[in-house]
Amino acid sequence: MVRNPLIDLLQAVSNQGSISGGARALGLSYRHVWGELKRWENELGNELMVWEKGQSARLTDFAAKLMWAERQAQARLAPQIEALRAELERSFAQAFDDRVHVLTLYASHDEAISSLREIALRGPDEASRLHLDVRFTGSVDAIRALNEGRCVMAGFHTLENSSPKTRSERTYKPLLQPGLHKIIGFARRTQGLMVAPGNPLALRSLSDVATRHARFANRALGSGTRVVLDELLDQANLNATALSGYDRAEPSHAAVAQLVASGQCDAGLGIAAAAQHAGLDFVPLVDERYHLVCLKSALEQPGVQQLRQLLQTPDWQARVGVIPGYASQQSGEVLSMRKVLPWWSFSHKKVPA
């Protein structure tokens, strides 16, 4: 992640309560930190620190706004920066090591997918390394990319035990076809409300968010979490207009979490890992399955076979289990689409799943 050194200086001095403490935390000299703070004050035309005799150093309002703006920008740009890094890694993998298999994966932004990509290249031996060329996008767009031939595999998520005649069915059924697509198990994860520490509004459900007029941050159209939210609203017999902020769309779980952490919103739907990273409380609402899907014809490709093998290793299953709110669930197994997504019924000719 690209960072501005000023933000690190402000964070260290604020956390330690003094320039000398901040300098020690950063491994820099007192003189250097003092000089940099004064230089930035001159550059920006605003004071950055408040100094009061006998009191710890603290950020000015201007500096606090800078810190917030930086965190918000980092959260918004994280998926794009991760995608750029993946593109660079893919290019070098192809150019310098033809023993590495490259597998293009479009997926809903997910903590476990990021972790999987990190360990894929560290295969058990030099001949079996896998490079995951991950492009983070909404679940709907990911499956469309698969159907248009822009990727080999897509990642999307639905509520566990998803029922017929729901938002999930209306969204995903037109995009998936038993006999053509194959579902590969990946993980189970929990989604819930990301709220300020201590949950000051005592939000325990979407109904609470609506009745207490809490400010809500939503996800963009095409994202799997937006589909999940709409399905939960249907279950609670709530209209979208009941949520103050339903039309405020953010690109990732991290971006929503930062809005809550900064006090701009009171709650947003997201994953426990994003809440934890932002220092928020998390109120679990639903469990969901995160699926991988590919065309049946791709199952024999070396990259897909290696990915399935990796997902079934004890190392990976232990790794995913330590991510907050995640657990391994039939990882790497080829599953019956009609059992995992029970939206199809065939009265005459039986179509293989």
Decide if pLDDT at 26 tops 70: yes
Last residue of some domain: 41, 59, 77? 59
Query: For position 187, which CATH number holds?
Result: 3.40.190.290
Assess if residue 352 is contained within a domain: no
Residues 65 and 116: their CA atoms lie apart, in Å, by: 35
Assess if residue 153 is contained within a domain: yes
What's residue 105's pLDDT?
A: 95
Residues 74 and 80: their CA atoms lie apart, in Å, by: 10
Q: Could you tell me if 120 and 254 lie in one domain? A: yes
Assess if residue 333 is contained within a domain: yes
Region 139-164: what's the mean pLDDT? 93
Assess if residue 347 is contained within a domain: no
- 55 versus 147: the higher-pLDDT residue is 147
Assess if residue 298 is contained within a domain: yes
Last residue of some domain: 15, 38, 59? 59
Confidence of residue 345 (pLDDT cuts 50, 70, 90): low
Q: Could you tell me if 183 and 322 lie in one domain? A: yes
Q: Could you tell me if 122 and 192 lie in one domain? A: yes
CA 208 to chain centre: 25
C-beta neighbour count of 339 within 10 angstroms:
9
Q: Could you tell me if 155 and 202 lie in one domain? A: yes
Q: Could you tell me if 268 and 298 lie in one domain? A: yes
What's residue 232's pLDDT?
A: 96
Confidence of residue 127 (pLDDT cuts 50, 70, 90): very low
Assess if residue 346 is contained within a domain: no
Please, what is the average pLDDT of the chain?
87
Q: Could you tell me if 145 and 218 lie in one domain? A: yes
Decide if pLDDT at 289 tops 70: yes
Decide if pLDDT at 248 tops 80: yes
Region 211-237: what's the mean pLDDT? 95
Assess if residue 159 is contained within a domain: yes
For residue 259, give its domain range. 69-339
Question: Is-contact 58 18, C-beta < 8 A?
Answer: no
Confidence of residue 55 (pLDDT cuts 50, 70, 90): low
- Select from 269, 270, 289, 291 the least CA-distant residue to 161: 289
Residues 6 or more apart whose Cβ sits within 8 Å of residue 41: 47, 48
- Summarised one tens digit per residue, pLDDT across range 316-339 is 999 999 999 999 999 999 998 888
Confidence of residue 190 (pLDDT cuts 50, 70, 90): very high
Assess if residue 36 is contained within a domain: yes
Query: For position 36, which CATH number holds?
Result: 1.10.10.10
Confidence of residue 350 (pLDDT cuts 50, 70, 90): very low
Q: Could you tell me if 87 and 35 lie in one domain? A: no
- 57 versus 257: the higher-pLDDT residue is 257
Total number of domains in the chain: 2
